[in-house]
Amino acid sequence: MDLAALYRTTALAIAGAKPVRSVIGRYGWRLGVGRFVAGEDIRSAVPVLLAIQASGRRVILDLLGEFVESESASRAVAEAVKESVAVARERGVEPYFSVKPTQLGLGVSAELALELADGVASAIGAAGGHLCLDMENVPYVSGTLDLYEELRRAGHHHVSTVLQSYLFRTPEDLDRLIGLAGAYPDVTTALRLVKGAYRETAEHALQDVAGVEEAYRALAYRALGAGLKLNVATHDEGLQRELLAYAQGAALSQDRYEVQMLYGVKPQLQERLSAAGLPVRVYVPFGSDWYGYFSRRLAERPANLAFVARGLFG
């Protein structure tokens, strides 16, 4: 394991410890959560979302939350997402949503997740939007792909999902998505490709930065070659440059690729790419259940811990 991977693994382990959770959970906004999270609810996030749209970038809305453990709580999340769709529509925000399958009950049962995801997909579809099923940690990968496939088979072609280049299984999962896309040649099949944000063991995932990057490159070319729309979701400027140059060199139309980046990460780069006429979409989380999301962002870059330290001791 290289140093960067070691930092990430250690930071995620520390963030999972109860005392750390309790301090960061209590003082979060003072500790810099607002750099990565646009507001505690959809209404407070609307000004951020509108400003991003006004700058020429597009948005992905993410009502924060994950690993919901009861049926009633999952149902409440599904209703909250539908309410957010209505608010987005009313306020002129594009209803392009990302949802974590465990928010919709994937950890409770596959049937519950399908019922709730179907309802959410219908609400988003009626608003003319898009739904991406985020990819979580290893226990949920197969379930998420099954859920995605069921939604497509039910006719929800405005739904996409995510693959993580750090997992050994991903090349096979990509084959599965390419096969599914082949069943629907008249509609776009979009794929968000990421490196992967969770703490996974050497049994399941590459542990070195260079290997994860190389895997990303190979998967990206394969997805593009197979005709998928590739959402290049990384802040890795080398990978972005290479894949954008490939897309432009191959004269791919802009509905075949886009760059996706997180709110609060490299905003100047986002604006530069967008000003150069490239399609850029920003993932904008909001909501009160921000702990897991925030700790993954801290684990991605040692310098981000400086914000927390300044908030605590500054």
User: What is the binding site for ligand FAD (CB under 6 A)?
Assistant: 134-135, 162, 164, 194-198, 233-236, 260-262, 265, 283, 297, 300-301, 304
Backbone angles phi, psi at 159, to 5 degrees: -115, 140
Least Cβ distance, residue 292 to ligand FAD (angstroms): 11
Q: Choose between 156 and 192: whose C-beta lies nearer to ligand FAD.
A: 192
**266, 233 Cβ separation under 8 angstroms:** no
Least Cβ distance, residue 209 to ligand FAD (angstroms): 6
Least Cβ distance, residue 185 to ligand FAD (angstroms): 26
Residues with Cβ < 8 Å from 133, sequence gap 6 or more? 98, 99, 100, 101, 117, 144, 147, 148, 151, 159, 160, 161, 162
Least Cβ distance, residue 301 to ligand FAD (angstroms): 4
Q: Choose between 157 and 235: whose C-beta lies nearer to ligand FAD.
A: 235
DSSP helix, strand, coil percent of the chain (3-state; round to 5): 55, 15, 30
**52, 281 Cβ separation under 8 angstroms:** no
Out of 62, 118, 134, 173, which one is annotated catalytic? Answer: 134
Token output for 78? 């599904």
Q: Choose between 89 and 235: whose C-beta lies nearer to ligand FAD.
A: 235
Told to judge if 296 belongs to the known catalytic residues of this protein, a careful annotator would answer no
Out of 8, 57, 152, 192, which one is annotated catalytic? Answer: 192
Q: Choose between 11 and 123: whose C-beta lies nearer to ligand FAD.
A: 11
CA distance 206 to 283: 25
CA distance 287 to 262: 15
Residue 314 CB-density burial (10 A; 0-12 exposed, 13-18 middle, 19+ buried): exposed
Told to judge if 134 belongs to the known catalytic residues of this protein, a careful annotator would answer yes
In the chain, the N- to C-terminal Cα span, in Å, equals 33
Q: Choose between 71 and 138: whose C-beta lies nearer to ligand FAD.
A: 138
Distances (CA, A) of 144 to 113, 170, 175, 187, 212: 9, 13, 15, 21, 21
Least Cβ distance, residue 256 to ligand FAD (angstroms): 17
Active site residues: 134, 192
